[in-house]
Amino acid sequence: EPEVTQTPSHQVTQMGQEVILRCVPISNHLYFYWYRQILGQKVEFLVSFYNNEISEKSEIFDDQFSVERPDGSNFTLKIRSTKLEDSAMYFCASSDWWAANEQFFGPGTRLTVL
């Protein structure tokens, strides 16, 4: 069964450093998403991506964040200068259609900023 994969499973970085979280969505999906979950809090939407551009983004997704689909398979989330409060679990998701359709989630990357 096809699944969304994410690497690494755990990333530790120093405050101020750049990190790139990687995702491989399901191959025939066209819509891609990033969510995050700070420990003890709810899962929050960050950004959605379609046709090589951002479709929607939340207020969390500020200038420190960017997303990219560098090739036909990867979907990345970059944080330019990490802050302590960026420590969270980051989930990638993909779907094959817009609006009200199931999103398939990856296992997450746990980011720890020291």
Partner 1 sequence: AQSVTQLDSHVSVSEGTPVLLRCNYSSSYSPSLFWYVQHPNKGLQLLLKYTSAATLVKGINGFEAEFKKSETSFHLTKPSAHMSDAAEYFCVVSSLGNQFYFGTGTSLTVIP
Query: Where do contacts with partner 1 occur on this chain (CB under 8 A)?
Result: 3-4, 31, 33, 35, 41-45, 48, 55-56, 58, 91, 93, 95, 98-108
Burial of 99 (0-12, 13-18, 19+ CB in 10 A): exposed
The CB-of-89 to partner 1 minimum distance in angstroms stands at 10
| Token representation of residue 75 | 């979907």
Residue number, 42 or 51, with CB nearest to partner 1: 42
- Are the C-beta atoms of residues 5 and 105 closer than 8 Å to each other? no
Residue number, 58 or 66, with CB nearest to partner 1: 58
- Quote the DSSP letter at residue 34: E
Residue number, 5 or 17, with CB nearest to partner 1: 5
